[in-house]
Structure 1
């Protein structure tokens, strides 16, 4: 952990993002003193995350747990409800999202979106899509811009002759390459990848993942990699963070988390990974019940309580916080699993 602290690129502490839900009170109700309280959806609730220079951090969790909201806070596409975000030691969390887009910090954090088709302007050619952030953030002459775009296309494996095409004229893999080239065009320090291969065929996914690994090595960037594919996370990431209903429930070196998951939710996720080796069996930890509501959640009840097969009254009386269970390995659980407990409970 000391090495990470000494080499921090991104340091986000106690991030909160709440969305107002429900019907607001009318003017007459407010004047009469009968205003209804507005409920709050806690999409991200007291999350801290750090990324070191040259590191790849994986963020995993089921749909709706708050991963996409978290990465949009980190890229400053959404305003914080509360918390601090420091980039290279400089506070950027206080800047409103609109103001951040015009600041000198914008080139340093870029994002590859989940669906390349939706993230590309249908009226922009591939050339214009890649050139647009350069024009806005790193002005170059016409010839320099043309050369830069062609170099980026070549780096990402996109034939230069395709740069004149519109998104509907490109395949899924080609659109993904345009999105990656656009994101690295201004040479960011941190690239956030929000499930970049989710909409691609399996054969194309492998090629894109190899491309991302090559680009990271070549440009020396840091990655925050969001994915549902745990095998990919284990292969590409140095550290892993597991998110559940707006909170980080486990974090640590990828190999430590995958070999010895300490949180029952992490164990359930890992036990769901399919294995195709003949005769290979993996004990399954099955979770039942429905997730707790993220709207006005109790501050004292563990978010996983009610679905956790190892839940006890303590979990309903006190919210667990991240506690160290190994070298740089932490878990938010009152009763973290040991190797023997994992076998017993599976």
Structure 2
């Protein structure tokens, strides 16, 4: 037995030929602990296939699954004044913004887009909880106003997906001022007679819940989403009592009249199309209603094939 050729050489070869496995191929469900393959999880819209837990989804991923063919056009949002209060805690506010942009790849905590869902034109807004907790900032206020103005100009309904931890503390009173600003934007939609639909996702809390997230014509929530102003822990510490099971979760709020529907993420698009077309007074969407191909791409059967088909019809 040749120890070098039979053991040493294969060991060395295995070391150099070893492939690095990316760390982001698997995701652990925070609810049941199941390890989920990233492609399977993405195809399932970031919903656990084992326990149906709805994980956080970014606005861009949500829009890719919402709009027809994943095609949408981003709406430009005016940039507010950077660091108006020169706020600093453990980090300077501009440094926190840079870190959040590097982490998420997005400019801010809200994405505004326009497109079609089942051939129904809409304007949509979605908050990104991974961007500083989706906190309500001056940019978020500008985004809601820009979306409302665009919806009014195009005479389209506005659909908002909320996910936030409240107002952004680094902007102080300027962040809180977005509550009345967003309320005015919603009033503009109502005066124009356009539907405003809110989809509350996990979590929607603080000043967001106290303003535009609860001003919709229809309120839909994803399963088990936390929806509140003050969190359950704060309330328990204040009243010194144990809260009911599932308190401030979507299903609890539905039972107590705070919501209209609780809808699974995979059914959300169909639900939004049905409600939107109903509010607009349109006929129900036709499945498979695709645009006609250009005339130059339509292939007609030649005369021989037409003659054969005519003969078969006569028989």
TM-score (norm 2): 0.32
Greater per-residue helix proportion: 2
TM-score (norm 1): 0.30
Which of structures 1 and 2 has the bigger CA Rg?
A: 2
Greater per-residue strand proportion: 1
User: Which has the bigger relative contact order, CA under 8 A and spacing at least 6?
Assistant: 1
